[in-house]
Amino acid sequence: MLAIRRSEDRGHFDMGWLDTRHTFSFGEYYDPRYLGFSALRVINEDRVAPGKGFPTHGHRDMEIVTYILDGALEHKDSLGTGSVIRPGDVQRMSAGAGIQHSEYNHAADAPVHFLQIWIIPDRKALPPSYEQITVPREERRDRLRLIGARDGREGSVTIHQDLSLYAGDLSAGTVLEHAFGPGRAGWIQLASGSIEVNGIEARGGDGIAISKEPSLKITALSPAEVLLFDLPAV
């Protein structure tokens, strides 16, 4: 079964310096139908104005994955980590027992556009940690490249949950397949472009909840950037 979450139906706030869209309930946006999916708790699509950002704030017991679509985001945290992440970079921060961090648009003349994803960890009070990798576009071109997994296999970031996260940068006409194991579910977040998934058409910003489907056939109807989560069944 596939259930589509249309881009225009997401929670939306424009604060001037921040234009944000929430797939699931978050902050001032609440919809009891969309409290998360499996281990996914948050998928926010953020656009931050030049030189603006989120001042230092705290998190606990959450795996936070940041995926840059355009621009550059500067990160600092209480572990002493400081970095700038750009398209192709994947950042994982385990808040665990508690962490403080800030995020700012690194550029003074261009916005930054990114997805921030919160995943419920498989246990609480983990030691806070940080990890970042770069996945060149050629490694994502016309395939689903693993970028996050519990065991950190294939050069992915380590996510403390029983999931696999894939990214694909697809040319128009590309057809990919993904098989789910027993007791698995999935979520597709389409960052841009248009695709067809098992007969369902999706456009940039749409999400697709997947349950009780043994496999997916993903066809790129136009150039598309897609994230696929392979998750525990809901």
The domain tally of the chain equals 2
The beta strands (E) that lie in 79-128 are given as 82-85, 89-94, 99-105, 112-119
111 and 16: one domain?
yes
Q: What percent of the chain has pLDDT over 90?
A: 97
Q: What is the pLDDT of residues 60-104, one digit of tens each?
A: 999 999 999 999 999 998 999 889 999 999 999 999 999 999 999
- How much is the mean pLDDT over the chain? 96
Q: What is the DSSP string of 68-92?
A: EEES-EEEEETTS-EEEE-TTEEEE
Q: Taking 90 as the threshold, does the pLDDT of residue 114 lie above it?
A: yes
What's the order of all strands across the beta sheet hosting 129-134? 11-14, 18-22, 40-48, 112-119, 63-70, 89-94, 129-134
Q: Please, how many CA atoms are within 13 Å of residue 172, restricted to the half-sphere of its CB? A: 4
The confidence score (pLDDT) of residue 230 equals: 98
Task: Give CA–CA dist 185/177, Å, rounded.
Answer: 15
117 and 148: one domain?
no
Residue 146 lies in domain:
137-232
Mean pLDDT within 215-230 = 98
The confidence score (pLDDT) of residue 98 equals: 95
The confidence score (pLDDT) of residue 205 equals: 98
Mean pLDDT within 14-34 = 97
**CA-wise closest residue to 63 among 89, 30, 40, 47:** 40
107 and 206: one domain?
no
- pTM for this one? 0.96
Q: Taking 90 as the threshold, does the pLDDT of residue 234 lie above it?
A: no
> Any idea what the CATH number is for the domain that residue 55 is in?
2.60.120.10
**CA-wise closest residue to 140 among 156, 151, 153:** 156
Question: Of 78, 110, 134, which residue constitutes the final position of a domain?
Answer: 134
Q: Taking 90 as the threshold, does the pLDDT of residue 139 lie above it?
A: yes
Q: What is the pLDDT of residues 181-220, one digit of tens each?
A: 999 999 999 999 999 999 999 999 999 999 999 999 999 9
120 and 203: one domain?
no
Task: Give CA–CA dist 207/9, Å, rounded.
Answer: 11
Mean pLDDT within 140-165 = 98
97 and 111: one domain?
yes
